[in-house]
Amino acid sequence: MSSLILRHEPGAAGSEIYRVWSGDERVGTIRREDVHAATYWPWHITGLIETGERTIGPSGRASSREEAMEQFRSAFVRLLAVPHHRPGDYPYRKG
């Protein structure tokens, strides 16, 4: 498996949105979300399960970007261990 790389996505002023890449394939997103006095880092893996109307994958929420990346990596590795979830077997979102 290729290593997972975070790439900051420029957006609105002050936004922190990172796309997660495995090689040249975009496989998910980690972003900062400020809610009241707390900061959360929601993450989700994209392009894993086709439901007919939308593509969904595992997701979670952490208290730091580093923790979100570790949770993301752990979930991604578990999914790749399942025979039908290998790179190339499902649509990735490129961009």
| Whole-number percent of the chain with pLDDT over 90 | 38
Number of domains, the chain: 1
Residue with tokens 């190339």: 88
pLDDT of 54 strictly over 60: no
pLDDT of 46 strictly over 70: yes
Tens-place pLDDT, residues 2-30:
689 999 987 766 678 999 998 888 889 99
- Tell me 74's DSSP state: H
Q: How many CB atoms lie within 10 A of CB 48?
A: 23
Contact 46, 26 (CB under 8 A): yes
Tell whether 95 is covered by a domain: no
Domain with 34, as residue range(s), is: 4-81
Tell whether 86 is covered by a domain: no
The C-alpha angle with vertex 61 and arms to 65 and 49, in degrees rounded to 5, equals 110
Q: Is 47 left (phi over 0), alpha (psi -120 to 50) or beta?
A: left
